[in-house]
Amino acid sequence: MARINLDTIKKLNKDRNTVHTPVVATYTVFDTVDGEHYVQIDTYGKNDREIPGKASQSIQFDRVSAKFLVDLLKKEFNL
């Protein structure tokens, strides 16, 4: 599980990159008891994994990190 915030996300330039195989993903929207709003994205990996249907990665965004991601996507994809 991972919660992204502005203190934990940094740009990294890599020498080699590969395009990954598409996998199933879902998202959940929820509020905490203290009123914080979150969006969580879960990925499930390939169908031939040891436990099919089990989430392999969950990433949570709060309002601040979601705004950062939206701004980044707009910039990088010239949206």
Residue 34: domain span: 2-76
Q: Is 43 exposed, middle or buried (0-12, 13-18, 19+ CB in 10 A)?
A: middle
Domain count, the chain: 1
Which amino acid belongs to residue 18? T
Please, which residues have CB within 8 angstroms of residue 27's CB and are 6 or more apart in sequence?
39, 40, 41, 42
Per-residue pLDDT of 16-75, as tens digits, reads 999 998 989 999 999 999 999 999 999 987 777 777 778 889 999 999 999 999 999 999
Q: Residue 73: what are its φ and ψ, rounded to 5°? A: -65, -40
Supply 19's token pair.
């395009």
To the question of pTM greater than 0.95 for the whole model, the response is: no
